[in-house]
């Protein structure tokens, strides 16, 4: 499942032929990096790969003013088929990627145990700031979003709230966690 392939092929299918810069502007306009796992700068590389695979093809070359020439691409029949497959696979897949923070928490060092409360507090502040920023951004752009896009943006806020709740639960059991970590270290191997 490749978010960038889904974005490029889906955009070409929905909006018609475009050049890489137009796709980049669309991604920035939609703030796609806030809610999808893709780097906007990777668009140019994926265009070359999709063209090499026959999923898109160069329709024409354009030049505006003193700007460099730009290749305009459109989706092919094979690209539409691949897009359908990518969409279905993505929609059928249910799962969350492992978060490296879980491993860091599970493998605390002696100094980390003593600072665990501060670490959790710091993470909570960052998560709350991110939630506040996300909600403010959504409020500012809601009028430009489709109904589905509003739900997609809301999904990010729901996930952030769940992270906040989980971190708050760590604080509630902080004493038990630190006592357990310290007693494990005190036991002879």
Q: What is the pLDDT of residues 29-66, one digit of tens each?
A: 887 776 677 788 889 999 999 999 999 999 999 888 88
- Which fold does the domain 3-92 belong to in CATH? Arc Repressor Mutant, subunit A (1.10.10)
pLDDT at 1 over 70: no
**Residue 72 backbone dihedrals phi, psi, to 5 degrees:** -100, 125
Model confidence over 109-167: pLDDT tens digits?
A: 888 999 999 999 999 999 999 999 989 988 888 888 889 888 988 898 999 999 999 99
Instruction: Give the pLDDT mean for 11-26.
Output: 94
State the sign of the Cα–Cα–Cα–Cα dihedral 91, 97, 14, 155: positive
The alpha helices in 16-146, defined as continuous H runs, are 20-29, 32-35, 43-52, 77-92, 100-106, 110-114, 116-141
pLDDT at 67: 81
pLDDT at 169: 96
Domain ranges in the chain? 3-92, 100-186
Rounded distance between C-alpha atoms, residue 149 and residue 95, angstroms: 21
Instruction: Give the pLDDT mean for 164-179.
Output: 95
């Amino acid at each position: 499942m490749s978010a960038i392939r889904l974005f490029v092929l889906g955009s070409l299918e929905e909006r018609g032929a475009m050049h890489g810069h137009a796709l980049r502007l669309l991604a920035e306009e939609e703030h796609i990096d806030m809610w999808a796992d893709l780097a906007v700068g990777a668009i140019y590389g994926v265009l070359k790969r999709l063209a090499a695979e026959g999923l898109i093809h160069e329709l024409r070359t354009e030049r505006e003013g003193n700007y460099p020439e730009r290749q305009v691409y459109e989706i092919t029949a094979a690209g539409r088929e691949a897009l359908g497959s990518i969409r279905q696979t993505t929609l059928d897949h249910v799962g969350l990627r492992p978060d490296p923070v879980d491993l860091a928490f599970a493998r605390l060092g002696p100094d980390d145990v003593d600072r665990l409360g501060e670490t959790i507090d710091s993470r909570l502040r960052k998560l709350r700031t991110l939630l506040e920023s996300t909600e403010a951004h959504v409020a500012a752009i809601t009028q430009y979003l489709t109904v589905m896009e509003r739900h997609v943006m809301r999904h990010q806020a729901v996930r952030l709230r769940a992270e906040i709740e989980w971190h708050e639960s760590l604080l509630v059991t902080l004493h038990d966690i630190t006592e357990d970590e310290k007693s494990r270290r005190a036991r002879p191997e």
